[in-house]
Amino acid sequence: MMSLRIENLGVTYGKIRALDGVSVELEPGEMFFLLGPSGCGKSTLLRAVAGFIEEFDGDIRIDGKSLKGVPPHKRDFGMVFQNYALFPHLTVEGNVAFGLEARQVAPAERSARVAEALEMVGLSGYEKSRPGELSGGQQQRVALARALVIKPRVLLLDEPLSNLDAKLRWEMRDEIRRIHRETKITTLYVTHDQGEALSLAGRMAILNKGKIDALGPPRGIYRNPPTRFSAEFLGEINALTGILADDRRSVSTGAGIVPLNANELPSTLQTGSTVTAFCRPESVTISAIDDANAAHMSLKLNARIASSAFLGESTVYEIEVDGQPKWRVRRHETGEQVFADGTPVRISVAADAWAVVP
């Protein structure tokens, strides 16, 4: 197991600064997630780590040793490209054996390792198939086996599930988790899909326009993101702007006073400055106007159901609140109470569900 350290990485293509001052350290054996929208620099970062980009600022170190000047094939990194990049004219076996041939591994050991890698990804029996005869999920497994067979020091995954349909994506997600648990290879997993990152990551970073915007465990970033960009990238928000009180315990907004749990506020927030307080759709409670149960909740607002969407396990309501953009509220479907469009309601938010960003 190896540590991977990316130090102050910067990459420029002509006039485009694709990465700027990116620093991340992966612990030995960790699967770390890099999440961000299309074009934010994710593939550039992976390509730099893999050694395909020669000019960059900063450094990339494996177990403390700089990789500057080390060509890709000498790094012993396994990479799975977004489009798999399989060789169409080679069999599954030939594709997986490719990296071993390049490393001049003897034929007997080569077949044993190819068999082991195919077993690992659940493709034993497909040795003689060609990529064109396989489903998307199976091609993905071949790409994984090809990366794993060299027993890489680091595994780099570039949006590995983005070409699969929803059901397969779920299945392969679990497969990748299992393989990581079994091999414990230090893995850098890049995706634009927040669900993938939230559900798999121990730690993750959010990249915005080539810079790290947030770094930490998914729950922490989801609940207390450092910026509005990260807050919105991870899910929907209901936002109120206002002034942060001197005691840092509330935000005074046009809709009322929002109470805060002061421990969780980012220290960069200035008292007396304009901030955005927000809550997530699942932390809002809807009650009938005359319901007394919401007494312990904060910021009770009178509102009106604008529309609703039944999603099976939950219903998402769009709610009109006086003088505010529409709120979104997710209500777990218990089958009890359904609010019809146009119903006047009261909405309230638990005090510890608020977060604040600059």
Window of 39-47, 88-96, 196-204, 294-302 that interacts with Mg ion by CB under 5 A: 39-47
Other Cβ atoms less than 10 A from the Cβ of 266: the count is 14
Q: How far is CA 323 from the centre of its chain?
A: 34
Nearer to ligand ADP, 46 or 105 (CB): 46
Query: Distances from the Cα of 179 to the Cαs of 116, 117, 122, 175, 272, in angstroms?
Result: 12, 10, 11, 6, 50
Window of 17-25, 42-50, 117-125, 203-211 that interacts with Mg ion by CB under 5 A: 42-50
In angstroms, what is the minimal distance from the CB of 343 to ligand ADP?
43
Is residue 99 left, alpha or beta, with left meaning phi > 0 and alpha meaning psi from -120 to 50? alpha
What's the rounded Cα separation, in Å, for the pair 161 and 197? 12
| Best CA proximity match to 310, nearest among 340, 276, 350 | 340
Nearer to Mg ion, 42 or 75 (CB): 42
In angstroms, what is the minimal distance from the CB of 42 to Mg ion?
5
In angstroms, what is the minimal distance from the CB of 16 to ligand ADP?
5
| Best CA proximity match to 263, nearest among 206, 224, 234 | 224
What's the rounded Cα separation, in Å, for the pair 69 and 56? 11
Contact residues for ligand ADP (CB under 6 A)?
13, 16, 18, 36, 38-44
What's the rounded Cα separation, in Å, for the pair 59 and 298? 48
Nearer to Mg ion, 43 or 261 (CB): 43
Nearer to ligand ADP, 41 or 160 (CB): 41
In angstroms, what is the minimal distance from the CB of 156 to ligand ADP?
12
For the purposes of burial, counting CB atoms within 10 Å of the CB of 157, is it exposed (0-12), middle (13-18) or buried (19 or more)? buried
Which option in Mg ion, ligand ADP, none does residue 315 bind, with CB closer than 5 to 8 A by kind?
none
Nearer to Mg ion, 43 or 208 (CB): 43
What's the rounded Cα separation, in Å, for the pair 205 and 306? 36
What's the rounded Cα separation, in Å, for the pair 144 and 79? 8
In angstroms, what is the minimal distance from the CB of 190 to ligand ADP?
7
In angstroms, what is the minimal distance from the CB of 65 to Mg ion?
27
- Please name the residues in contact with 347: beta carbons below 8 A apart, sequence gap of 6 or more: 284, 285, 286, 287, 300, 301, 303, 319, 321, 327, 329
Query: Distances from the Cα of 332 to the Cαs of 24, 317, 348, in angstroms?
Result: 37, 11, 15
Nearer to ligand ADP, 78 or 210 (CB): 210
142 neighbors 81 (Cβ within 8 angstroms): no
Window of 37-45, 58-66, 88-96, 213-221 that interacts with Mg ion by CB under 5 A: 37-45
- Please name the residues in contact with 229: beta carbons below 8 A apart, sequence gap of 6 or more: 206, 208, 213
Which option in ligand ADP, Mg ion, none does residue 13 bind, with CB closer than 5 to 8 A by kind?
ligand ADP
Member of 43, 111, 162, 261 binding Mg ion (CB under 5 A): 43
- Shortest-Cβ-distance residue relative to Mg ion: 43
In angstroms, what is the minimal distance from the CB of 116 to Mg ion?
30
In angstroms, what is the minimal distance from the CB of 60 to ligand ADP?
15
Nearer to ligand ADP, 130 or 211 (CB): 211
Nearer to ligand ADP, 41 or 281 (CB): 41
* DSSP string across 30-68: -EEEEE--TTSSHHHHHHHHHT-----EEEEEETTEE-T
Count the site residues for Mg ion by CB under 5 A. Answer: 2
In angstroms, what is the minimal distance from the CB of 208 to ligand ADP?
10
Which option in Mg ion, ligand ADP, none does residue 163 bind, with CB closer than 5 to 8 A by kind?
none
Nearer to ligand ADP, 40 or 86 (CB): 40
Binding site for Mg ion (CB under 5 A): 42-43
